[in-house]
Amino acid sequence: DTAVSQTPKYLVTQMGNDKSIKCEQNLGHDTMYWYKQDSKKFLKIMFSYNNKELIINETVPNRFSPKSPDKAHLNLHINSLELGDSAVYFCASSQDFGEKLFFGSGTQLSVL
Amino acid sequence: EDQVTQSPEALRLQEGESSSLNCSYTVSGLRGLFWYRQDPGKGPEFLFTLYSAGEEKEKERLKATLTKKESFLHITAPKPEDSATYLCALFSGGYNKLIFGAGTRLAVHP
């Protein structure tokens, strides 16, 4: 039973399209995150939510909009996709800030 | 600004050849230093958390240590299955977020 699951695993799309990535955790954690890993494998936080409330919003273009319908789910919607959005996006969760993170297996987004 | 620097970028070892990975950091208020392992095509997997200088933690062939300026991940008699990217991250209380280093890609050859 996967602790943090995200779908889809791969996403290939054209520039200008809108796409969503879904994430669910069954660990009962209060805090969820979206991270972006670029081609150099550098992991950078994008957003964090605690109990459905947005806590961290890094300098991410407003084309990226996270939504947390409940504390077990955190989805990421991306509008008007650009070539530079190509990367691997990881969802993660933790019991609280400063606790160890549990990561999903990632969504590889390729914008053509 | 809080920062994490890992070295080397890549390391190639023969099976059984022990070595260490370095993680240097600057932080205004350290609330935890984390080590993760990442295999290709997968998300990072938690290994250790260290909270104060002098602390050490071990797991199988891995041992993590912490000083006020850096952390080391010592790998003793590595096996090919230890091949992965090892990520260091620090939790900055000032920013309430985990800041990752760029990682060290470790390849262990039989």
Q: What is the rounded CA–CA span in Å between residue A43 and residue A30?
A: 21
Which residues of chain A lie closer than 8 angstroms to B40, CB-CB?
Answer: none
User: A4–B96: do the CB atoms touch at under 8 Å?
Assistant: no
User: B41–A105: do the CB atoms touch at under 8 Å?
Assistant: yes
Residue A105 sits at the chain B interface (C-beta within 8 Å):
yes
Spatial CA neighbour of B107 closest among B12, B8, B10:
B12
Contact B84, B39 (CB under 8 A): yes
Q: What digits encode the pLDDT tens for the residues A28-47?
A: 999 999 999 998 888 999 99
Contact A56, A45 (CB under 8 A): yes
Find the length of chain A: 112
The band of A98, judged by pLDDT with boundaries at 50, 70 and 90, is: confident
pLDDT at B49 over 80: yes
* Secondary structure class of B43 (helix, strand, coil): coil
Q: What is the rounded CA–CA span in Å between residue B103 and residue A37?
A: 12
Mean pLDDT of chain B: 94
Least CB-CB distance to A103: which of B44, B49, B103? Answer: B44
Mean per-residue pLDDT, B21-45 = 93
Amino acid A97: pLDDT: 80
